[in-house]
């Protein structure tokens, strides 16, 4: 398909036979208003769905925005490494810094060779 505009999408769909277009029931797209408007015009009977990857990405972006806004409102700044309200230092990465020797997994038992 040439371009990411409604003219390119409509042109691509118009090049298909009406029988082919009539068999389409569901279309999965990225959340683009351009795609949506072209598909609604060219395939009026098809249901339009946002694909899983883009949906999860948008949800994660929204969670990040809320988390950042709440941190800014409650603390007046972004999180700091030594902020005790976030939990013990190095809680996210316990095997870094001076405690690296104590957090290593025990050594694996050696297999006996025959």
pLDDT per residue as tens digits for the range 4-56? 678 888 888 889 999 999 999 999 888 888 888 888 988 999 999 988 898 89
Q: Which residues contact 6 (CB under 8 A, 6 or more apart)?
A: 34, 35, 37, 38, 41
47-69 residue pLDDT tens: 999 888 988 999 999 999 998 88
**What distance in Å separates the CA atoms of residue 91 and residue 9, rounded to the nearest whole number?**
49
The full set of domain ranges for the chain reads 6-75
pLDDT of residue 17: 93
More confident residue, 102 or 33: 33
**Mean of per-residue pLDDT scores for the chain:** 78
Backbone angles phi, psi at 105, to 5 degrees: -70, 150
pLDDT of residue 96: 55
Beta bridge partners of 29: 50
pLDDT of residue 20: 93
- Does the pLDDT value for residue 95 go beyond 60? no
**What distance in Å separates the CA atoms of residue 103 and residue 81, rounded to the nearest whole number?**
19
Q: Residue 29, SS3?
A: strand
**What distance in Å separates the CA atoms of residue 72 and residue 103, rounded to the nearest whole number?**
32
As separate numbers, helices (DSSP H) first and strands (DSSP E) second, the chain gives 4, 2
**What distance in Å separates the CA atoms of residue 84 and residue 92, rounded to the nearest whole number?**
13
């Amino acid at each position: 398909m040439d371009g990411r505009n409604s003219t390119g999408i409509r042109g691509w769909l118009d090049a298909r036979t009406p029988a082919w277009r009539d068999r389409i029931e569901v279309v999965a797209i990225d959340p683009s208003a351009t795609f949506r408007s072209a598909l609604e015009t060219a395939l009026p009977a098809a249901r339009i769905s946002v694909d899983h990857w883009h949906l999860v990405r948008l949800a994660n972006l929204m969670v990040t925005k809320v988390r950042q806004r709440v941190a800014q409102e409650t603390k007046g700044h972004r999180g700091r490494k030594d902020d005790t309200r976030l939990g013990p230092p190095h809680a996210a990465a316990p095997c870094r810094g001076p405690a690296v020797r104590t957090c290593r997994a025990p050594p694996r038992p050696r297999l006996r060779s025959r």
